[in-house]
């Protein structure tokens, strides 16, 4: 009987890509992927610990898997950021777990599978990265890591602990991976890193803007995206690359976290409100129709109503198209835990509600402004809600569901006339 595996992934795109890499390595070892955990001889949880809630989910899931293990005898491995954070302690807490493997060891699955290591939570200097063994989920899109880890040490954030110090991949390796992805039919490339724009080639010091241009110029890359940029790392070279290449998406996720300079200083975000807005202005001058999105934390220790009002006024001013907001969640070992008076949960909840109400109105107005326009859309597949329609994204990253010839090849670029704006998405009909 061939070995089978089931993998469940929580969290960010980097975790999704880590799961694709683990799945690729397992296939090379002869494992077959299954969609039902009851059919698996190996069950992997690739976990997230960015907020306390995500971490709790992992432990309650492990409780369920304990029962399943009794029935089927499957091996259980915990990967990702909870694995890194808890290490040995995770096995003490859940002794039915067979191994724990952190993000630094994704390229080294063999060691845990062969039983050489039960707890693999170091960050080896030379990390294995098999670019041909990635089980890419989409036929049209490929994620490509360019930098791992984070050196920023924001006072609220667990990422530097769970993903280690920044390590950029060599320029040539990134280009080789993009070429291999394009050769396999992936026309959309998304470059990934916790602070993607801090990229520096370890051999030549070439920066993120230079890499962005080089990737955009590879034949067959129809659309190029990247995630997540840090506002303090935006520079002229990055802005010029975005302005000079029509295939680089006019969408930029630029987490601000708060609109109050006082809170930003205590978060150690390395910019003020004014500096952040100035950065956005520079980008808008080069790429006038850019769609900005952001992340915001409400209820950071010591956040006053006045600080929060400044966050609301910043949202009004920037008019973000998309926004992800979270209540502050204390993370073990991070300095924010000791930084100021905790904000009562009811107050933080109320702030989050008010923030979403404001953003709903802005998003609605923005989506409505697309009515009647014909936009280039990259076809990704059938629409989730109505399989008779196709679905894709605009150059500035809005999802569009549209009527078109169902035989349209995935990955094509079509002109779509926008007829309607729904809650989060646009709707239309292909004109080409
Ligand atoms: N590296 C990116 C950055 O900081 O610019 C994003 C990393 S994180 C995966 C995504 C978002 O989670 C952050 O931008 C932040 O808004 C949120 N986040 C991180 N730590 C948090 C915490 N302790 N409580 C609440 N939200 C948090």
Collapsing DSSP to helix, strand or coil, 166 comes out as: coil
194 lines ligand 1 (CB under 6 A): yes
The encoded tokens of residue 320 equal 């973000």
Is 51 a pocket residue for ligand 1 (Cβ < 6 Å)?
yes
Write down the pLDDT at residue 339.
84
Ligand 1 pocket test: pick from 12, 17, 50, 323 the residue with the most ligand atoms within 8 Å of its Cβ: 50
Number of other residues whose CB lies within 10 A of the CB of residue 137: 14
Mean pLDDT for the chain?
A: 95
Residues 6+ apart with CB under 8 A from 211: 146, 171, 174, 191, 199, 201
Average pLDDT over residues 325-347: 92
Exposed / middle / buried, residue 295 (Cβ in 10 Å: 0-12, 13-18, 19+): middle
pLDDT number for residue 432: 76
CA distance 224 to 127: 25
What confidence category does residue 55 fall into, taking pLDDT thresholds of 50, 70 and 90? Answer: confident
The C-alpha atoms of residue 144 and residue 1 are separated, in whole angstroms, by 34
Q: How far apart are alpha carbons 273 and 280 in whole angstroms?
A: 11
Q: Check pocket membership of 97 for ligand 1, CB cut-off 6 A.
A: no
Q: How far apart, in Å, are the Cα atoms of 126 and each of 122, 123, 164, 169, 422? A: 11, 9, 13, 10, 48
Q: Which two tokens stand for residue 167?
A: 């390590």
- Ligand 1 lined by 257 (C-beta under 6 Å): yes
Question: In this structure, which residue's CA is closest to atom 15 in ligand 1?
Answer: 295
Q: Is the CB of 329 under 6 A from ligand 1?
A: yes
Is any ligand 1 atom within 6 A of the Cβ of residue 328?
Answer: yes
Q: Pick the atom of ligand 1 nearest to 330's CA.
A: 23
The pLDDT of residue 427 is 97
Alpha-carbon span 145 to 152, nearest angstrom: 18
Measured over the CA atoms of residue 294, residue 302, residue 150 and residue 285, the dihedral's sign is: positive
- Ligand 1 atom nearest the C-alpha of 231 is 5
**pLDDT value at position 127?**
76
What's the predicted TM-score (pTM) here?
0.95
Share of the chain above pLDDT 70, in %: 100
Tokens for 96, please give them.
């039915």
Token pair for 198? 């801090």
Q: Does residue 50's CB lie within 6 angstroms of at least one atom of ligand 1?
A: yes
pLDDT of residue 279: 98
Closest ligand 1 atom to 157 CA? 20
Which atom of ligand 1 is found nearest the CA of 324? 16
Atom of ligand 1 nearest to the CA of 229: 5
CA angle in degrees (0–180, nearest 5) for 24-30-32: 75
Check pocket membership of 12 for ligand 1, CB cut-off 6 A. Answer: yes
Ligand 1 neighbourhood includes 311 CB (under 6 angstroms): no
CA distances from 408 to 177, 400, 404 (A): 27, 15, 7
pLDDT digits (tens, 9 = 90+) for 5-42: 999 999 999 999 999 999 999 999 999 999 999 999 99
Q: How far apart are CA 235 and CA 244, in angstroms?
A: 14
Measured from the CA of 150, which atom of ligand 1 is nearest? 1
- Say how many C-beta atoms besides its own lie within 10 A of residue 401's C-beta: 21
- Helix %, strand %, coil % for the chain, to 5? 40, 20, 40
Residue whose CA lies nearest to ligand 1 atom number 25 = 328
Ligand 1 pocket test target in 279, 295, 342 with most atoms within 8 Å of CB: 295
Tens-place pLDDT, residues 124-151: 887 777 777 899 999 999 999 999 999 9
């Amino acid at each position: 009987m061939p070995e089978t595996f089931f993998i469940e992934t929580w969290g960010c795109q980097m975790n999704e890509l880590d799961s694709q890499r683990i799945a690729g390595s397992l296939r090379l070892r002869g494992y077959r992927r299954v969609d039902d955990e009851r059919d698996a001889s190996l069950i992997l949880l690739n976990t997230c610990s960015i907020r306390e809630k995500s971490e709790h989910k992992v432990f309650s899931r492990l409780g369920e898997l304990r029962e399943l293990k009794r029935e089927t005898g499957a091996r259980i491995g915990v990967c990702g950021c909870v694995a890194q954070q808890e290490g040995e302690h995770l096995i003490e807490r859940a002794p039915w777990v067979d191994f724990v493997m952190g993000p630094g060891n994704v390229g080294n699955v063999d060691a845990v599978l062969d039983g050489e290591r039960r707890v693999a939570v170091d960050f080896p200097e030379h990390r294995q990265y098999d670019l041909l063994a990635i089980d890419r989920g989409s036929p049209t899109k490929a994620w490509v890591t360019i930098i791992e880890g984070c050196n920023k040490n924001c006072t609220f954030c667990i990422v530097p602990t769970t993903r280690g110090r920044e390590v950029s991949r060599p320029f040539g390796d990134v280009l080789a991976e993009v070429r291999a992805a394009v050769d396999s039919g992936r026309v959309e490339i998304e470059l990934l890193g916790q602070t993607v724009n801090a990229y520096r080639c370890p051999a030549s010091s070439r920066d993120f803007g230079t890499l962005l241009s080089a990737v955009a110029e590879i034949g067959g890359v129809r659309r190029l995206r990247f995630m997540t940029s840090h506002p303090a790392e935006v520079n002229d070279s990055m802005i010029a690359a975005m302005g000079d290449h029509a295939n680089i998406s006019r969408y930029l996720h630029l987490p601000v976290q708060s609109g109050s300079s006082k809170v930003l200083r205590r978060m150690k975000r390395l910019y003020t409100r004014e500096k952040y807005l100035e950065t956005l202005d520079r980008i808008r001058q080069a790429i006038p129709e850019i769609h900005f999105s952001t992340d915001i934390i409400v209820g950071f220790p010591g956040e006053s109503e006045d600080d929060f009002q400044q966050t609301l006024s910043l949202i009004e001013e920037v008019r973000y198209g998309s926004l992800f907001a979270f209540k502050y969640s204390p993370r073990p070992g991070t300095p924010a835990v000791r930084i100021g008076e905790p904000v009562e949960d009811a107050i933080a909840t109320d702030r989050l509600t008010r923030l979403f109400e404001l953003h709903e109105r802005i998003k609605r107005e923005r989506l409505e402004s697309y009515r009647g326009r014909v936009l280039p859309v990259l076809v990704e597949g059938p629409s989730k809600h109505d399989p008779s329609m196709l679905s894709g994204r605009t150059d500035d990253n809005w999802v569009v569901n549209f009527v078109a010839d169902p035989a349209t090849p995935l990955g094509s670029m079509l002109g779509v006339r926008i007829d309607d704006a729904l809650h989060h998405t646009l709707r239309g009909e292909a004109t080409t």
